[in-house]
Amino acid sequence: MNAHRPLRPLPVLLLLLLLLGLAVTVLAAAPARADETCQSPFLPKVTGQEDFIYVWTLGVKGVADGNDSLVTVDANPKSASYGKIIHRAPVPGQHEAHHAGFTDDRRQIWAGGLDSSLIFVFDVAADPARPKLVKTIKTFEKDTGGLVGPHTFYALPGRMLISALSNSKDNSGRTGLAEYTNAGKFIRTIWLPDEAPYGYDVRVNINLNRMLTSSFSGRKNYMRPVAELLADAAAMKQFGDSVVVWDFHARKPLQILRVPGAPLELRWALQPNHHYAFTSTALTGELVLIYQKDDGTWATKNIAEIGATIPVDISIAPDDSKVYVNSYGDGTMRIYDVTNPHEGKLIQQIKLGEQANMISTSWDGMRIYTTSSLLSKWDKPGDQWLKAFAWEDGKLVPKFTTDFNGVGRAHIMNFGARNLGARAEQPARDRLVRRSAEPR
């Protein structure tokens, strides 16, 4: 598992040059719109003010119609409905709504249920302010040979890469990755290696031809009341302690990095000469650097002690200068200076509420959005919200709070925009990048 395959620099360099030319074309032809720093590199990255925040929201019995839903919040400061909910697209039932992501053409958002393993596909191109449910994939477990708990939805050219959290055989943390076409046709399952069977997040660095996967726990743990889980010593041993480094083109594991304490979200550095990524560990409260050594192999280093607060999500500034960390346990956002990636320096803390979960950074680095809900059986009593912040005079200051108490539990966010353009086909772009997504 520690074998290292040398990169083939000419095809990768050629790909980057072609993508750069494409980006210039996109910027010239399309209206400015915002993106998030954690998005797939196969989505065009352009700056601008986001108009909408799409929030995948857990339904709550007795609240609204009780269903999970994709909720649209107006995020444009020039709008009369700034900071308010302007649309809600419900799905039938409660499925442990958790994560969601765009397809590479940005025409759809795929959203998953960790409990039911259903996948809901929303059209966000026809009317960006009012997403519409257009398809439900009910065969994820059958398609994949037993994966359950679809988690990260990560755009590849013409495809969706999905990391799962568990399996149907024993509901443990043994799991894998699945690939589908954008049309919803199953392609294949990639089981995680026996030496590191747990899964959580997946992220790709196309410059390095490397993919990272992280690790959490299985369905029998994440669908259990948190107080009961924490009191079960045997169950608490059933959490992952690994980050796997993959050859992305071949979808082959190259190296297993031991990261004790359930490393969750993965965030690659965004500058092309920065060959590293970050994660945080939920159970041990560390901010962790994942970096490439001179010999081409990878290593990890704890760079900041977050504390016993259960850090659950991180986001990275577009210039790689800062990492934002949200903690479930104390409901606090922490901001670390990582200008020197080998040393995280705490520069600001903001109390968000009784608990906190997701955090997203705008591509221009000026705005930060956070939400409250983690898991239905883990959430504490209290308010549910989306909160927005902006950088002003060197400090992150609050801009608005959107009340979700009458809607459900606010979880993951994706950014949307008006006048996105209905580009159903992008054959030139597909030809340029497809080789980097397909196995060799």
115 belongs to a structural domain: yes
Query: pLDDT, tens digit, for every residue of 242-289?
Result: 999 999 999 999 999 999 999 999 999 999 999 999 999 999 999 999
Task: Using DSSP, state whether 309 is helix, strand or coil.
Answer: coil
| pLDDT score for 20 | 39
Q: Which of 287, 293, 266 is nearest to 205 (CA)?
A: 266
| pLDDT score for 21 | 40
424 belongs to a structural domain: yes
334 belongs to a structural domain: no
414 belongs to a structural domain: yes
CA 279/CA 136 separation, integer angstroms: 31
State the CATH number of the domain containing residue 215.
2.130.10.10
- The range of the structural domain enclosing residue 268 comes to 9-309+408-437
DSSP annotation of 5 reads P
Tokens of residue 32, six digits = 């400015």
| pLDDT score for 420 | 62
CB-based contact 366:309 (threshold 8 Å): no
Task: Using DSSP, state whether 365 is helix, strand or coil.
Answer: coil
pTM listed for this prediction:
0.89
pLDDT over 90 for what percent of the chain? 84
| pLDDT score for 27 | 33
CA 337/CA 157 separation, integer angstroms: 33
Indicate the average pLDDT of the chain: 90
69 belongs to a structural domain: yes
CB-based contact 350:389 (threshold 8 Å): yes
| pLDDT score for 48 | 82
Confidence of residue 44 (pLDDT cuts 50, 70, 90): confident
> How large is the average pLDDT for residues 378-398?
96
Q: Is the pLDDT of residue 25 over 80?
A: no
Which residues lie across from 278 on neighbouring strands?
267, 289
Count of C-beta atoms within a 10 Å radius of residue 428: 11
330 belongs to a structural domain: no
Distances (CA, A) of 17 to 14, 24, 47, 209, 435: 5, 11, 20, 15, 14
Query: pLDDT, tens digit, for every residue of 337-377?
Result: 999 999 999 999 999 999 999 999 999 999 999 999 999 99
Residue 72, burial from CB neighbour count under 10 angstroms (0-12, 13-18, 19+): buried
Name residues whose C-beta falls within 8 Å of residue 59's C-beta, 6 or more positions apart in sequence: 65, 66, 67, 68, 69, 90, 93, 94, 97, 408
| pLDDT score for 68 | 98
> How large is the average pLDDT for residues 175-181?
98
Task: Using DSSP, state whether 383 is helix, strand or coil.
Answer: coil
DSSP annotation of 366 reads S
Count of C-beta atoms within a 10 Å radius of residue 303: 20
421 belongs to a structural domain: yes
Between 180-189, 352-361, 379-388, 412-421, the lowest mean confidence (pLDDT) is in 412-421
Query: pLDDT, tens digit, for every residue of 90-143?
Result: 999 999 999 999 999 999 999 999 999 999 999 999 999 999 999 999 999 999
Name residues whose C-beta falls within 8 Å of residue 293's C-beta, 6 or more positions apart in sequence: 299
Residue-wise burial string across 285-301, b where 16 or more C-beta atoms lie within 10 A, e elsewhere: bbbbbbbbeeeeebebe
CA 162/CA 426 separation, integer angstroms: 22
| β-strand pairing of 359-361 with 367-371 | antiparallel
| pLDDT score for 45 | 65
Strands, DSSP E only, in 284-344? 286-292, 298-305, 311-316, 322-327, 332-337
CA 435/CA 440 separation, integer angstroms: 9
| pLDDT score for 43 | 86
317 belongs to a structural domain: no
Q: Is the pLDDT of residue 47 over 90?
A: no
| pLDDT score for 436 | 47
CA 252/CA 192 separation, integer angstroms: 10
CA 219/CA 114 separation, integer angstroms: 8
More confident residue, 402 or 432: 402
Task: Using DSSP, state whether 290 is helix, strand or coil.
Answer: strand
Query: pLDDT, tens digit, for every residue of 193-208?
Result: 999 999 999 999 999 9
Dihedrals φ, ψ of 163, to 5°? Answer: -90, 140
Looking at the 3D structure of the chain, how many domains does it have?
A: 1
| pLDDT score for 439 | 46
